[in-house]
């Protein structure tokens, strides 16, 4: 669960080539960095670890690496077999389950390749080219501000993508920002959109220890699963795959993690960090906690409520721990003092160079000014627009229908886009009315609480109803749970929509106000932030050179490190756990109960086999499923978590404490052999 | 709800006289201060408002002021009639209710005095004497540290109280700290312990707007009720009472609020404020939010669950808003900058005076050092000791039984104390098994989350059970809900207790560890903080003189101010609301539905009567029910809330924004006359 990217981008689009060259960085912790493949510090690593990394080694790793929806993965056989985490395929396992066969609980392990089933919506993307497009993107926004700036940039980005991928369904082209706008690159991928589920263990084996153990170590989780890429109904041939090494590494061994870290904020300025610490994260934590409490109590009301709420609760609890860990980092005075020093040094260097100063101006003060605007706008923006509807699927699809309808009425939607949208809204969606009421009641009640009863938008939202009664009414009267109805209303005009469905009517009645606060946020916060941040990035390049790694942007990165435990407050945490430890930790009570297959295999399993291990690699959410490879480039595990200290990794890396948590190929091999008895998979992996 | 003191002191004890004299304060906002009765700035107020306040005026106010359990009040007739807030008597109204008569919903308004019924446990205390005991208290702890210091201080305090009240049940003697240990005084009270309920309106009239309107304004709440002090079965004669003035004040009129503000933290040092902001309040808010969510969802499971959970939810939501407001103040950079400047100025003044520096030392650095200890200890202290059991009544009474049993086994409990304890534990307590499970499950699960699965105390608490299963088992098997059983186990030895009841066994098994972390907190945080804070207070006296007001300590104070609205972000909030506004605000949906009596009276009620009003008086939780008086000393209302800005009042007062919210005597009179038709009460108040 842990390292899955929080929140996914809506869509991607497409070209090919080679990119910018970077050069030399300021005070960086050893082993810090989520490096792009065109700027990896090869010489430094070879020198430090005695490795023999070269461009071919990197190219092979890149070609074997796979980007999934919100996760990372790798090819581990020549026939398109993909290793990732169980939590990256959990929703697929759930969708494949039926009343008779609960594969979440029992695991998914078809006997033949013919029984491998497609995970709907899942894509597998392999990065093929990186092309620098910085100049084009920067030129597009030149001299513009606010909405014009954003529109011009978006238009140029779409154009670059279109030029490079040309609508080819086998390609993805995506312009990605690096260094907070310091550079832009077109990432081009080979895309596979028939991805099938090959093997998933029991949830209780994959997620043993549940939320209490999440982001903690020692750990005993078989958070691994296999997918397979298909094309034209056949497994894809993948000669560039990683060799499966089923031996565990030793303490101190060098490790590389390759994947798509989702988002870090290490290049934010002090004023941005302070706003995050003082407003965004506290509200997010406080509201998230109350929702968590409501969901936990809802799950306790019936067996069915528990079943449908379990996954959403895991998701929220995972996010909660991330926010909490981020906030702890920002509340650490020593951490913030270091950030403050770094910023002061950069600003002093700019001030000392009149030409540079002339070019850069003072983006730090501009960003501080933007934060005071953010402080004013954030609560209404969060409640009315960004977080409107909380986690309600009905609300979110309803809003998409409303906004598409409005755009269509304004002539801004092509027939092709409309066809695509119609497909999207008519796809099956798991909707639980009880949970929907929890989400909507929570959102409406918090909106009234934070914006107050006397706020005009709050009055417009609630009318004479209580938040709970309104939520109940909307959920019980809307027909948006029906895919056919969604397809039908999606083609209506807004006025027809309002007449056709109470939830659409409700969304429409409040949508102008919501869109207005969204526009203010974009024009007064997002756009000027982008412009100022670009100049901070340029200052950093000018002062420190380009030998730095950029913030994570769910684009392919490689980090280096070594297998190593850590010591915190005098307590030493060893680098490895062993399968035997699982049986010692099991209490019989959820979430510390043994998966049945593991319980049954206790007498024959190799308890000395390494189960999970930690290494100093620098990772973040989105790295879930990342292959962990040794110096030879062989896969030795799948990263699935960070330790609790790694959560501060959003803002900075501490080599003494930050750790990646990996499920070893040794454990996966042992489980396939002894616990789940999957000889055909072992054979495909080249084991025995 | 709002201004009730958060958390009550366990018990008080007793003498009489006159106290220290104070002298001239640093940069204080106009109208700032919760002044003690022996240090009120008479001349300044007379000069500013043209009033004629003198000692006799103050003495009469003091003699007419009443301290209730966690609330404030005043005598308003010669026959012991007491005006306070509805939320201060709500638990009494609930206890007097039966299945047939729900007085919470319908109001309590007996036709005759004979039907006035006792509020069990409620006392009414009138301050008679203030005696400075600073020298004795300070001398007692001289040269001691840690546990010895605390014990010596406690012993001397108990001795002073005993010497002055001598066990007289009609007196309360309490040594109270002022200026964070800068001064100590013995407060002596005349105590009445038969306090009966005279009148309470419908809850929906008193708490119209519920949590959404709580701490907000405009406001439409009849948060008023009447009690009566009895002695020897007869109403107490109270010649010193306030004259009832049923006219509303005008904008700008001077107002005085007299009552018992519970706690402020305006004299904390920067390091203490930062610890509060960075650790204590965030954890409290985050955990409180989750509990709130769990309780709200529990309340939604059945009508009975809603009934029993409504009050506890009000209480938690009220606390939540206070914590949130406090944290917002501490997150305000401008506010903290002002605090930082004040501290720097005081420290500079000390440094500039070698003799003073020699005497004071550097308590600021000592306190900063103590905060780093607090950072390490707070989570285990909070989870295992301070907040153990969350809000579970069973746990709290169980722990009292266990600890008294241990103390008794160690020979530290007298027969008299034991008899008193036996009475206390055998009193009826409202216990709802469902809520108890919510509280205990929540506490156990958060303890595991914050201390981690691998913590030895967590392992000891949970054994092989899940938090929820353990909570269920303890609640369903304990017999502590039975008062007779409690009385029985209270006399047992600890070993017998463990054998007699599963919850007592559970508490006992974990009590040594809990007591140990409690002792560490007391010895390493509380005691050294007290010692350092006393020297900060002495520095302040030396530098600024004694013309300052002390932090609130639930002791009688008077604040001055005037009727005045405020302006925030360009929005003007007027000083008054009128009864007619209630009908405009009513939506028909909870909590904005009209109380039936108000709905029925709509045609005859005087809609032009002032309902609630705001004034600039400096107040805080504990001031609930405080008489608001005019220049003549006549009562014109009962304070029941502060506005949202007043919540930062814990740390500082802002005259531009902080406001007291009062229900006017004009509205109470109109309600008694037209809505509830209580001519006998009006007659007693001297109206008509």
Shortest Cα–Cα distance, A161 to chain B (Å): 43
> A285 falls in which pLDDT band (50, 70, 90)?
very high
CB atoms closer than 10 angstroms to residue B450: 18
Q: Which of residues 445-484 of B touch A (CB under 8 A)?
A: 448-449, 452-454, 462-466, 468-469
Say if the Cβ atoms of A469 and B589 lie within 8 Å.
yes
Shortest Cα–Cα distance, A469 to chain B (Å): 9
Those residues whose C-beta lies under 8 Å from the C-beta of residue B185, and which sit 6 or more positions away, are B19, B20, B130, B131, B132, B133, B134, B175, B176, B178
Say if the Cβ atoms of A297 and B292 lie within 8 Å.
no
Chain B residues touching A329 at Cβ < 8 A: none
A85-143 pLDDT tens trace: 999 999 999 889 887 899 999 999 999 999 999 999 899 999 999 999 999 999 999 99
pLDDT > 70? residue A638: yes
**A558, A619 Cβ separation under 8 angstroms:** no
Closest CA in chain B for residue A587: B464
pLDDT > 60? residue B1: no
B91-102 pLDDT tens trace: 999 889 887 899
pLDDT > 60? residue B18: no
pLDDT, mean over chain B: 93
Closest CA in chain A for residue B463: A587
- CA–CA distance, B124 with B171 (Å, rounded to integer): 11
* Residue A5: C-alpha distances to residues A259, A284, A388, A395 (Å): 11, 17, 21, 22
Among the partner-chain residues B274, B290, B468, the one whose CB lies closest to the CB of A290 is: B290
What average pLDDT does this structure show over A523-528?
A: 96
Secondary structure of B248-294 in the HEC alphabet?
Answer: CCCCCCEEEEEECCCCCCCCCCHHHHHHHHHHHHHHHHHHHHHHHHH
pLDDT value, residue A316:
96
- CA–CA distance, A277 with A330 (Å, rounded to integer): 6
**B512, B145 Cβ separation under 8 angstroms:** no
- Cross-strand partners of B197: B117, B227
DSSP β-ladder status, B557-562 and A35-36: unpaired
**A24, A33 Cβ separation under 8 angstroms:** no
C-alpha closest to that of B440 among B394, B479, B401: B394
Closest CA in chain B for residue A209: B453
> B5 falls in which pLDDT band (50, 70, 90)?
low
Closest CA in chain B for residue A298: B297
- CA–CA distance, B676 with B282 (Å, rounded to integer): 44
Assign residue B237 a region (left: φ > 0; alpha: ψ between -120 and 50; beta: otherwise).
Answer: beta
Chain B residues touching A468 at Cβ < 8 A: 300
Q: What is the DSSP letter of A563?
A: B
Chain B residues touching A333 at Cβ < 8 A: 274
What average pLDDT does this structure show over B142-158?
A: 94
- ipTM value for the complex: 0.91
What average pLDDT does this structure show over A320-345?
A: 95
Pick the residue of B442, B466, B469, B592 with the most A CBs within 10 A to test the interface with A by mutation: B466
Rg (CA), chain B: 25
Say if the Cβ atoms of A297 and B296 lie within 8 Å.
yes
- Cross-strand partners of B130: B187
C-alpha closest to that of A528 among A367, A335, A356: A367
C-alpha closest to that of B76 among B258, B344, B317: B258
**A173, A188 Cβ separation under 8 angstroms:** yes
Count contacts between A and B (CB, < 8 Å).
Answer: 119
Pick the residue of A211, A289, A468 with the most B CBs within 10 A to test the interface with B by mutation: A289
pLDDT value, residue B12:
24
Pick the residue of A286, A336, A465 with the most B CBs within 10 A to test the interface with B by mutation: A286
What average pLDDT does this structure show over B476-486?
A: 97
Query: Looking at per-residue confidence, does B10 or A269 come out higher?
Result: A269
Pick the residue of B289, B368, B383 with the most A CBs within 10 A to test the interface with A by mutation: B289
Sign, Cα dihedral of A12, A14, A18, A19:
negative
pLDDT value, residue A5:
67
pLDDT value, residue A569:
86
Secondary structure of B321-365 in the HEC alphabet?
Answer: HHHHHHHHHHCCHHHHHHHHHHHHHHHHHHHCCHHHHHHHCCHHH
Q: Which of residues 382-421 of A touch B (CB under 8 A)?
A: none
DSSP β-ladder status, A81-84 and A117-118: unpaired
Residue in the structure block whose two tokens are 């973040």:
A620
> A11 falls in which pLDDT band (50, 70, 90)?
very low
pLDDT > 50? residue B11: no
Stated as kind and residue range, the H or E segment containing A258 is strand A254-259
pLDDT value, residue A173:
97
Say if the Cβ atoms of B449 and A212 lie within 8 Å.
yes
pLDDT value, residue B28:
59
- CA–CA distance, A381 with A625 (Å, rounded to integer): 34
Pick the residue of B209, B215, B294, B584 with the most A CBs within 10 A to test the interface with A by mutation: B294
What average pLDDT does this structure show over B493-504?
A: 98
> A19 falls in which pLDDT band (50, 70, 90)?
very low
pLDDT > 90? residue B2: no
State residue A572 phi and psi, 5-degree precision.
-90, 125
> A25 falls in which pLDDT band (50, 70, 90)?
very low
Say if the Cβ atoms of B465 and A587 lie within 8 Å.
yes
What average pLDDT does this structure show over B241-268?
A: 96
> B24 falls in which pLDDT band (50, 70, 90)?
very low
- CA–CA distance, A82 with A88 (Å, rounded to integer): 12
What average pLDDT does this structure show over B641-658?
A: 94
Domains in chain A: ranges and CATH:
35-265+550-684 (2.40.10.120), 362-541 (no CATH)
Task: Please tell me if residue A372 touches chain B, with a CB cutoff of 8 Å.
Answer: no
B270-327 pLDDT tens trace: 999 999 999 999 999 999 999 999 999 999 999 889 888 988 999 999 999 999 999 9
Half-sphere exposure of residue B62: CA atoms within 13 angstroms, side-chain side: 22
Pick the residue of B275, B281, B287, B293 with the most A CBs within 10 A to test the interface with A by mutation: B293
pLDDT value, residue B307:
84
Chain B residues touching A466 at Cβ < 8 A: 589-592
pLDDT, mean over chain A: 93
Shortest Cα–Cα distance, A275 to chain B (Å): 10
Among the partner-chain residues B285, B466, B468, the one whose CB lies closest to the CB of A286 is: B285
> B545 falls in which pLDDT band (50, 70, 90)?
confident
Q: Which of residues 530-589 of B touch A (CB under 8 A)?
A: 569, 587-589
Half-sphere exposure of residue B235: CA atoms within 13 angstroms, side-chain side: 19
- Percent composition of chain B: helix, strand, coil (DSSP 3-state, to 5): 50, 15, 35
State residue B112 phi and psi, 5-degree precision.
-130, 160
Among the partner-chain residues A211, A287, A297, the one whose CB lies closest to the CB of B297 is: A297
> By percentage, how much of chain A surpasses pLDDT 70?
96
- CA–CA distance, A145 with A524 (Å, rounded to integer): 9
Chain B residues touching A440 at Cβ < 8 A: none
pLDDT value, residue A16:
27
Closest CA in chain B for residue A455: B571
pLDDT > 90? residue A427: no
Chain A residues touching B449 at Cβ < 8 A: 211-212
Chain B residues touching A305 at Cβ < 8 A: none
| pTM, to two decimals | 0.92
Task: Please tell me if residue A324 touches chain B, with a CB cutoff of 8 Å.
Answer: yes
A185-211 pLDDT tens trace: 999 999 999 999 999 999 999 999 999
């Amino acid at each position: 669960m842990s390292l899955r990217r929080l929140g996914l981008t809506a869509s991607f689009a497409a070209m090919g080539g080679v990119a910018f060259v970077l050069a030399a960085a300021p005070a960086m912790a050893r082993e810090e960095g989520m490096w792009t493949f065109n700027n990896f510090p090869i010489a430094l690593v070879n020198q430090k670890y005695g490795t023999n990394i070269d461009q071919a080694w990197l190219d092979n790793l890149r070609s074997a690496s796979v980007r999934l929806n919100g996760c990372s993965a790798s090819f581990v056989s020549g026939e398109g077999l993909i290793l990732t985490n169980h939590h990256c395929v959990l929703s697929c396992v759930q969708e494949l389950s039926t009343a008779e066969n609960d594969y979440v609980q029992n695991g998914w392990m078809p006997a033949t390749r013919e029984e491998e089933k497609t995970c709907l919506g899942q894509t597998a993307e392999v990065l093929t080219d990186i092309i620098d497009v910085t100049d084009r993107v920067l030129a597009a926004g030149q001299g513009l501000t606010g909405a014009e700036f954003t529109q011009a940039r978006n238009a140029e980005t779409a154009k670059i993508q279109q030029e490079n991928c040309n609508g080819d369904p086998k390609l993805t082209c995506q312009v990605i920002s690096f260094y907070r706008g310091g550079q832009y690159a077109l990432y081009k991928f080979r895309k596979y959109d028939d991805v099938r589920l090959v093997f998933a263990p029991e949830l209780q084996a994959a997620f043993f220890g549940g939320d209490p153990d999440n982001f903690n170590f020692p750990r005993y989780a078989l958070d691994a699963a296999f997918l397979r890429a298909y094309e034209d109904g056949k497994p894809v041939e993948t000669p560039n795959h990683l060799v499966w090494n089923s031996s565990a590494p030793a303490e101190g061994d060098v490790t590389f993690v390759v994947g798509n870290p989702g988002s870090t904020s290490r290049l934010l300025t002090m004023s941005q960090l302070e706003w995050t610490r003082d407003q965004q994260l506290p509200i997010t934590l406080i509201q998230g906690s109350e929702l968590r409490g409501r969901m936990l109590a809802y799950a306790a009301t019936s067996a069915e409520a528990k079943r449908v709420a379990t996954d959403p609760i895991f998701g929220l609890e995972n996010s909660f721990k991330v926010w909490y860990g981020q906030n702890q980092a920002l509340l650490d005075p020593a951490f913030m003092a270091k950030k403050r020093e770094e910023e002061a040094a950069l600003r002093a260097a700019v001030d000392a160079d009149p030409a540079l100063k002339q070019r850069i101006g003072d983006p730090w003060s501009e960003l501080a000014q933007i934060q005071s605007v953010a402080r004013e706008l954030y609560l209404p923006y969060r409640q009315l627009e960004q977080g409107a509807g909380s986690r309600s699927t009905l609300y979110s699809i309803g809003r998409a229908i409303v906004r598409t309808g409005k755009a269509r009425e304004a002539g801004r939607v092509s027939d092709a886009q409309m066809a695509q949208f119609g497909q999207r809204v008519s796809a099956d969606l798991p909707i639980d009315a009880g949970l929907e009421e929890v989400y909507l009641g929570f959102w409406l009640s918090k909106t009234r609480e934070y914006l107050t009863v006397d706020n005009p938008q709050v009055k417009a939202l609630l009318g004479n109803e209580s938040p709970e009664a309104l939520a109940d009414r909307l959920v019980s009267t809307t027909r948006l749970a029906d895919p056919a109805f969604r397809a039908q209303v999606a083609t209506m005009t807004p006025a027809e929509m309002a007449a056709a469905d109470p939830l659409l009517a409700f969304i429409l009645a409040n949508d102008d106000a919501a869109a207005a606060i969204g526009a203010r946020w974009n024009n007064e916060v997002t756009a000027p932030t982008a412009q100022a941040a670009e100049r901070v990035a340029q200052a950093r390049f000018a002062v420190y050179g380009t030998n730095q790694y950029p913030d994570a942007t769910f684009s392919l990165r490689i980090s280096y490190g070594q297998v190593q435990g850590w010591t915190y407050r005098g307590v030493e945490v060893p680098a490895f756990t062993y399968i035997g430890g699982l049986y010692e930790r099991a209490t019989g009570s959820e979430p510390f109960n043994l998966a049945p297959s593991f319980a049954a295999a206790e007498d024959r399993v190799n308890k000395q086999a390494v189960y999970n291990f930690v290494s100093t690699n620098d990772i973040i959410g989105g790295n879930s499923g990342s292959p962990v490879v040794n110096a030879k480039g062989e896969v030795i595990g799948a990263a699935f978590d960070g330790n609790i200290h790694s959560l501060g990794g959003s803002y900075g890396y501490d080599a003494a404490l930050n750790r990646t948590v990996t499920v070893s190929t040794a454990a996966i091999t042992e489980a396939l052999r002894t616990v789940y008895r999957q000889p055909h998979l072992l054979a495909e992996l080249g084991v025995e």
